[in-house]
Amino acid sequence: MTTTEAFATNFDLTEEQQQIQQAAREFVKDHVAPRAQELDEKAEFPVDNYKQMAELGFLGLSIPEEAGGSGFDTLSFILVVEELSKACGSTGLGYAAHISLGVTPVYLFGTDEQKQKYVPQLCRGVDDDGNLTLGCFGLTEPGAGSDAGGTKTTAERKSDHWLVNGRKAWITNPHYAKTCIFTAKTNQNPKDGKGITAFIAELGTPGFKVEAKEDKLGMRSSDTAQLVFEDMKLPLDAVAGGEPQVDVGFNKFMKTLAGGRISIGALALGIAEGAYQKALEYARQRKQFNKPIGTFQGVSFMLADMAMEISAARHLVYHAARLRDAGRDFALAGSMAKLYASEVAMKTCTNAIQVLGGVGYTREYDVERMYRDAKLCEIGEGTSEVQRLVISRQILGDLRNV
Ligand SMILES: Cc1cc2nc3c(=O)[nH]c(=O)nc-3n(C[C@H](O)[C@H](O)[C@H](O)COP(=O)(O)OP(=O)(O)OC[C@H]3O[C@@H](n4cnc5c(N)ncnc54)[C@H](O)[C@@H]3O)c2cc1C
């Protein structure tokens, strides 16, 4: 057992959670870790790894069995994201986005018909022709990032359909997706709320185009692209949650993000732990001045801080997941977990490169990739600044009328 695995055993995981964690560890050891560097270099999406995750039941892990999922809890899902991300941040990101953003909002907010139509297929993850059927989530636009309510995409209600025009940016998984749940403005002059509605569209709908994959700093083997809607016609029942949700769907997206933040926290935690393990091994075996570099206080203190901060991040991430599983309010805990774990991942990766010295700065050693991957955690699903806004608003309360 490694030192950090020993931290994890103190979390009183249930037998079921330990089994899923072990299954994820074995899958990562055999299929994810050996290819992570090569996939990053080629910016290649690991279709076959996702197919194997589908076989393992991972692609519907935290969705109840009666809805077509595998029936595990949020913490089990978080454990899988963490294990994947220790070896490959890109796989952790694509997987986390599929469950948190692609499947969960359809399951939580869809009508019964929408749930029956989409959720089992999204949870299976592969169709009869062997194509991946992941889910994706379209909130961000070129002009609406942190200000997600600034959506410019429009959906106009016609007599027998919705006519959608606009563009979404930075969307995860669209080239391998079956459905996209996205936001569009439905009320041009909203008196209250944002006048924004959530829709579910199938990939392949005429007028729905996925542009070429983005060329990114990190998370290079994840799939990120813009979506273009050009006179896309959707049936009237494509509104997520049905007609009563027209003009108020924005709130659903905000709730989805609150859950998604826990999984980005787990992604960051996994990357931090992966980098820490590499630094620890190196500090034991690399000798300078005839001694392992781990004997130098300058190096050992960096490792001590990493171990402590990773442990603290794990407490926050698991706590947020447990609050969600208990049906309690997890929004504040999720933001704190995401913010803290992201910053720990960035700091740990920076210092892991420092511990490895020159070789850490090369593409031959994984810590350089982990460092590039970690940066995404401070941006996606609400930047660190936005998390601080969310947290400060919650702790201060609404001061606007004071
Ligand atoms: C790899 C990747 C995958 C992604 N996947 C998805 C996805 O699947 N679906 C999706 O909808 N989106 C996705 N995103 C988009 C992501 O959520 C946005 O990039 C993020 O919310 C920030 O928006 P922005 O990039 O437009 O930056 P901006 O909002 O333009 O922010 C630029 C800078 O200004 C700061 N800033 C903005 N407003 C404030 C403020 N009020 N106070 C203080 N600082 C502020 C920000 O913190 C940031 O530092 C993804 C992004 C990436 C990079």
**Domain annotation covers residue 347:** yes
pLDDT grade for 9, boundaries at 50, 70 and 90: low
pLDDT of residue 190: 57
402 has a pLDDT exceeding 90: no
Centre of ligand 1 from the C-alpha of residue 339, in Å: 14
Average pLDDT, rounded, for the chain: 95
- pLDDT reported for residue 20: 98
Tell me, using a 6 A CB cutoff, whether residue 386 lines ligand 1: yes
What range does the domain containing 103 cover? Answer: 3-124
pLDDT, residue 339, reads: 98
| Local confidence band at 252 (pLDDT 50, 70, 90 cut-offs) | confident
Residue 341, in any domain of the structure? yes
**Amino acid 11: pLDDT:** 87
Number of domains in the chain: 3
Q: Is the CB of 254 under 6 A from ligand 1?
A: no
Q: What integer is the mean pLDDT of 10-19?
A: 92
CA 277 – ligand 1 centroid, Å: 30
Task: Characterise 230 by phi-psi region: left (phi > 0), alpha (psi -120 to 50), beta (else).
Answer: beta
211 labelled catalytic: no
CATH of the domain at 118: 1.10.540.10
| The pLDDT of residue 254 | 84
Residue with the smallest CA separation from ligand 1 atom 38 is 146
217 lines ligand 1 (CB under 6 A): no
Residue 5's pLDDT band, with cuts at 50, 70 and 90, is low
pLDDT tens for 115-154 read: 999 999 999 999 999 999 999 999 999 999 999 989 999 9
The pLDDT value given to residue 196: 94
pLDDT tens-place string over residues 297-306:
999 999 999 9
**CATH number, domain with residue 174:** 2.40.110.10
CA distance 153 to 142: 10
What is the model's pLDDT at position 311? 97
**What mean pLDDT comes out for the span 172-189?**
92
Quick check: is 177 in a domain?
yes
The pLDDT assigned to 397 comes to 87
Kindly give the number of the ligand 1 atom that is closest to the alpha carbon of 146: 29
| pLDDT tens string 348-370 | 999 999 999 999 999 999 999 99
- 304 and 278 in a single domain? The answer is yes
Q: Which of 103, 139, 146, 343 to mutate to test the pocket of ligand 1 (most atoms within 8 A of CB)?
A: 146
Does ligand 1 lie within 6 Å of residue 340's CB atom? no
**Residue whose CA is closest, atom 31 of ligand 1?**
146
| 386 shares a domain with 262 | yes
Task: Judge if the beta carbon of residue 381 lies within 6 A of ligand 1.
Answer: yes
Regarding whether 259 and 240 lie in a shared domain, the answer is: no
Which tops the pLDDT comparison, 281 or 191? 281
Inside any domain, residue 111: yes
Q: Is residue 402 part of a domain?
A: no
Are residues 84 and 176 located together in one domain of the fold? no
- Mutation probe of ligand 1 site: the residue of 99, 257, 379, 390 with most atoms within 8 A of C-beta: 379
Distance of CA 23 from the midpoint of ligand 1 (Å): 33
Q: Using one digit for the tens of pLDDT, what is the confidence trace for 29-64?
A: 999 999 999 999 999 999 999 999 999 999 999 999
Which pLDDT score is estimated for 24?
A: 98
pLDDT, residue 248, reads: 86
**Residue 316 Cβ contacting ligand 1 at under 6 Å:** no
For ligand 1, atom 4, name the residue with the nearest CA.
170
What pLDDT is stored for residue 3 in this prediction? 54
**Does residue 401 form part of some domain?**
no
Q: Is residue 188 part of a domain?
A: yes
**Are both 169 and 213 inside the same structural domain?**
yes
- 398 pLDDT tier (thresholds 50, 70, 90): confident
